[in-house]
Amino acid sequence: MISPAEMVRSHGGRYATALGIDLAAADSGERFKWFIAAILFGTRISELLATRTWREFAAHGVLTPQRVLDTGWDGLVAILDAGGYVRYNFKTATKLLTVCSNLLRDYAGDLDKLHATAQDPHDLETRLKALGKGIGDTTVAIFLRELRGIWSKAAPPLSPLALAAAQQLGYLRDNRHAIDQALARLQQKWASDGQAADDFADFEAALVREGLRLRRVESHHRRSLKKEAA
């Protein structure tokens, strides 16, 4: 079993970092950039297409709530199409406009203000979902897991993908662990490896990547079995 630090080196850390986003920066705009990415990643679409589409937003400079509104529905659809996000282009354009309008109205366009206003982790998740229809559990979990250790109230459950990978790789030897217990065990392993607690999200992201790989392998295996049985 490789160490948690080696896991991050081999699989990569935070998805936000791979996009060039500095979540720990003083500028709250960095958190908003990741929020756009989380919305894109939160749909049933490939990581490649979601990443490509986010880079289209970056190339067009559409990375603030006001710029999203100024771009308008037609402009957003064009950006989504350019990134290959055609399956959910109309719905996502509408979602982004609603989210940004509500964020500007309720929190002056600042996600850090939303976090400061939230009473606790549950209230934080509720406020994020209230920004617009379509901001559900998956999007919020993706967004908050990378802010674990940066926002004090960012405390989402461990990703099921990360849990599956941790069990497969031997970081968790008892498959009966509940999600919250598994999270605590993995955080302990990260700390025991000499890593900073604030950087645990890098380990979780690496486990998510491995979990996605395992899911693809399993899906391919099931398809192969179906073909053999046909």
Task: For 33-70, write each residue's pLDDT tens digit.
Answer: 999 999 999 998 889 999 999 999 999 999 999 999 99
Task: With a cut of 80, say whether residue 228 has pLDDT above it.
Answer: no
- Assess whether pLDDT exceeds 60 at residue 230: no
pTM of the model: 0.92
Distance between terminal CA atoms of the chain? 38
Q: In this structure, are residues 203 and 190 in contact, taking their beta carbons and an 8 Å threshold? A: yes
Contacts of 82 (CB under 8 A, 6+ apart): 53, 56
Mean pLDDT calculated for residue range 192-199: 95
Judge whether 199 lies within some domain.
yes
Nearest Cα neighbor of 158 from 177, 174, 132 is 177
66 and 132 share a domain? yes
Round to whole Å and give the CA distance between 31 and 39: 12
Mean pLDDT of 81-100: 95
pLDDT of 174 over the 70 cut: no
Q: What pLDDT does 105 receive?
A: 98
* pLDDT band at residue 223 under the 50/70/90 scheme: low
Q: How far is CA 144 from CA 84, 96, 130, 151, 171, in A?
A: 25, 18, 15, 8, 23
Which range of residues forms the domain containing residue 221? 159-229
Whether residue 28 lies inside any domain: the answer is yes
Instruction: Give me the pLDDT at residue 221, please.
Output: 58
Is 118 domain-assigned?
Answer: yes
